[in-house]
Amino acid sequence: MTDWPLLVDMYYAAPDLWYLIGGIVLSLLIILIFQSIEILKIKQKNYFLNRDRERYAETLYASRDGYFAFIYPDQKVNDPRESISERCSRRLAVIMNLPNGTKTTFTEILKHFYKEDALKIQKYVALLQDDGVSFDDHFILKSANKYLHLSGARINGADGNIYCDMIWFRDVSFETSKILSLEKTKTNAETNLVSIQNLLNNIPFPLWLRNDKLEISYYNKAFSEFSNCSMSNDKSEEKPEISNPQGESISKELAKLAVKTNRLKKANVSVVKNGERFAMEVFENPFHGEDTLDKIYTAGILINVNELDELKRNLKIHQNAQLEILETLGTAFAVFDQNLKLAFHNHAFANLWKLDEDWLESSPSYAYFLDTIREKRLLPEVPDYLMFKNEEQKKFSQIIEPQKDMLHLPNGRTLSRMRAAYPTGGLIFAYEDITDRIATTSAYNALLSGQKEMLENLFDAVLIFGTNGRLLFYNQAYIKLWKPQNELLNNEPNLDEILESQRNFFDKKDNWKSLKEKITEHILSVTTKSFVLNGQKNNAIMVSSCNLSDGSLMVTYKEIPNN
């Protein structure tokens, strides 16, 4: 407990001393306050310095690049660090997948590169540390197959002090792969371009491209040779044109028409080269260029058709000659072209269908022709005429090989019709009236059928051999008499085979060969009308033979009863 009365007595005993002590204490207090304020300022400054350092450090950590730093001791002060220290960034540890992370030394980093690259990096670093020489280069990590871009630089302070040597590592794998891919694409494109140019320049026809102004912007070697211009294809030069004998471009107007209609256009032109006239065919084909609908370009080609023209002329001559021959024939002929228009007819055609020559000369269509002859009741009656007419017109695009059919007309006539493809397109028709032929064939078949029926009802066995010596006919009486095998008769045997099947009829077979020759001689003899064959058990058969009017041979067998 403070003894206040004692203190008061002491104050009054020596007041000057107390004043001195109070001044000293007050001065110390003021000094303490000022020092505290300075300390607070220093702490605040250090705080912001540390914050800035952390920000700069985090900024470096957030960078896409990693770094490795060689930090030098401060030369201006007594730096306790006497040697160069190394620092590996976290980003670098991630980029290179370093097992020791930020504690990795530069020697360990070099082990992640190929040997030649590691030696090269060492040389770069040595120049940087010795002379401060910066560098930039690309390297490949041997483990991860990554492409890294290394750049080294020295960092100096404003006072000239060397702070550190920094080596920045950037992963440029994506960019490098993209560049390599683009270079490969470029190489392929250049190769393809050369191939296309070789292809175009080795096509023996002049080719060219026109821009949206219809100026020739590219042409091939054949064009250059044909128009006597250089192969530079320089856009600054005036582009040439292939001209006709009048000095006009052979295709520029055609190109305008192609662009206007947006359709391929062609034309036959004449071109003079080295004093010789050529028949040519020129094409201009429009297309949209540069992925825009606003610009239309054209591609052109010039083809020599001299030989084709000559072939067409020769073909026309031969066709005219053939048509002249057809004109003289009795068979009705007509040609309908690829447009289904009547291109040719002969007089027999007009007479067959009872058509006027002036009407035929107007080149009516095939459909009109069908309508006209239908009105005359000269077409077969069909339940659906429109379908019939459509099917008839479809044949123009379907018939390749000749086709033959019959037309049965309402007036009782029958026509044989042949349709075949015509060389220049369309179909050629041939009509023939076969009504009388069919009637004659029917009558002949009826007569033949009657004769066969009559022979079948005879009691005598009958064989008929054709002019080729083969069996044409046998009746049931022959089967009953000789009992041959059915397979033999159905295989069209000759006379010798028939006689062999009759061998069992005779007693003596030792001299069968000579006997068969005598029988054959008697059957084929013109003078011998009939003869008798004696067989086993005193059986006898009378054989007669005669030649028919058509050259065939009829042989009859009649059994002679025993007395």
Residue in this structure with the two tokens 């191939």, named with its chain if needed: 195
The 3-state secondary structure of 212-267 reads: CCCCEEEECHHHHHHHCCCCCCCCCCCCCCCECCCCCECCHHHHHHHHHHCCCEEE
**Average pLDDT across the chain, whole number:** 81
Domain boundaries, the chain: 4-54, 63-171, 203-304, 311-433, 455-560
Nearest Cα residue to 154 out of 143, 142, 164: 164
Taking only the tens place, the pLDDT of each residue in 225-235 is 877 777 665 55
The pLDDT value recorded for residue 433 is 85
Contact indicator for 519, 534 with CB cutoff of 8 Å: no
What is the per-residue pLDDT for 26? 84
Buried b / exposed e along 456-477 (16+ C-beta atoms within 10 A): eeeeebbbbbbeeeebebbbeb
CATH 3.30.450.20 fits 455-560, yes or no: yes
CATH code assigned to 63-171: 3.30.450.20
DSSP letter string over 102-125?
A: GG--HHHHHTTB-HHHHHHHHHHH
In angstroms and rounded to an integer, the radius of gyration of the C-alpha atoms of the chain is: 59
Of 78-82, 151-155, 250-254, the range with the highest mean pLDDT is: 151-155
DSSP string, 280-349: EEEEEEEEE-TT-SS-EEEEEEEEE-HHHHHHHHHHHHHHHHHHHHHHHSSSEEEEE-TTSBEEEE-HHH
Q: Which of 110-114, 229-233, 408-412 has the lowest mean pLDDT?
A: 229-233
Hey, which CATH number is domain 311-433, 3.40.1120.10, 3.20.20.80, 3.30.450.20, 3.40.50.1980? Answer: 3.30.450.20
Q: pTM value?
A: 0.42
Helix 4-13 / helix 15-62 crossing angle, nearest 10 deg: 110
Task: Note the pLDDT tens digit of each residue in 245-264.
Answer: 777 788 888 888 888 888 88
Same CATH fold, 311-433 and 203-304? yes
- CATH superfamily ID and name for 203-304: PAS domain (3.30.450.20)
Read off the pLDDT of each residue in 153-180 and give the average, rounded to a whole number: 86
Backbone angles phi, psi at 469, to 5 degrees: 85, 5
pLDDT digits (tens, 9 = 90+) for 276-333: 777 788 898 988 876 666 788 888 888 877 666 666 666 566 655 555 555 555 678 8
